[in-house]
């Protein structure tokens, strides 16, 4: 597997290929898991954040089917690194994470990062993996198992929900001279 680290993702008006690939993977993965793409980073946003002075962001890409989105604080908490893995739907994440992880570990050593936070989207249909704080649970997945095997502990659960509202389009009444 080909793993590459991309510090420079271009500029908002001209994102580089790594930003375009990561945005595409992110959109597809989020649509498959969540049913929308409200949270993924677009290519222009990735490119802009790769030059952020407070928290540089970079992409570790694997064969254009998976990536780690890495956040490196530059002013505060400079011992910390934040990361989120994203894999194309239908692909087995485990061998891809196995391929990406050594490059991520090397990057952490080079950047002298000693604390890692890892975000992972998970469904809430059968929440069996409980946070260490007992303040929530998520559905265990092969990725959460992979993380636990490497010493990660679920510390916090953040829940987002999408409420689908019925939409009725039709003739409305006039309000202040404007027809709705």
Mean pLDDT of 139-166: 84
**pLDDT tier for residue 178 given thresholds of 50, 70 and 90:** very low
Residues 13 and 37 in one domain: yes
Q: Which domain holds residue 104?
A: 1-119
pTM: 0.85
Residues 126 and 115 in one domain: no
For 101-146, write each residue's pLDDT tens digit: 999 999 999 999 999 999 888 777 888 888 888 888 888 888 989 9
Residues 61 and 95 in one domain: yes
Select from 89, 119, 149 the last residue of a domain.
Answer: 119
Query: Residue 100 falls within a domain, yes or no?
Result: yes
Residues 11 and 49 in one domain: yes
Residues 158 and 97 in one domain: no
Residues 95 and 34 in one domain: yes
Distance CA 62, CA 46 (A): 17
Residues 32 and 85 in one domain: yes
- Number of domains within the chain: 2
Q: What is the mean pLDDT of the chain?
A: 88
22 or 176: which carries more pLDDT confidence?
22
pLDDT score for 121: 80
């Amino acid at each position: 597997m080909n793993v590459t680290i991309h510090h420079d993702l271009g500029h908002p008006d001209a994102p580089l290929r790594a930003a375009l690939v990561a945005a595409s993977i992110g959109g597809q993965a989020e649509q498959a898991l969540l049913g929308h793409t409200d949270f993924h980073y677009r290519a222009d946003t990735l490119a802009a954040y790769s030059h952020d002075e407070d928290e540089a962001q970079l992409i570790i890409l694997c064969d254009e089917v998976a990536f780690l989105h890495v956040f490196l604080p530059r002013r505060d908490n400079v011992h910390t690194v934040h990361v989120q893995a994203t894999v194309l739907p239908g692909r087995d994440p485990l061998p891809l994470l196995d391929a990406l992880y050594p490059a991520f570990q090397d990057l952490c050593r080079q950047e002298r990062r000693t604390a890692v936070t890892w975000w992972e989207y998970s469904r809430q249909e059968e929440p069996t993996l409980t946070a260490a704080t007992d303040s929530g649970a998520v559905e265990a997945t092969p990725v959460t198992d992979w993380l636990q095997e490497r010493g990660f502990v679920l510390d916090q659960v953040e829940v987002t929900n999408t409420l689908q509202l019925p939409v009725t389009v039709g003739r409305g009444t006039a309000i202040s001279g404007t027809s709705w």
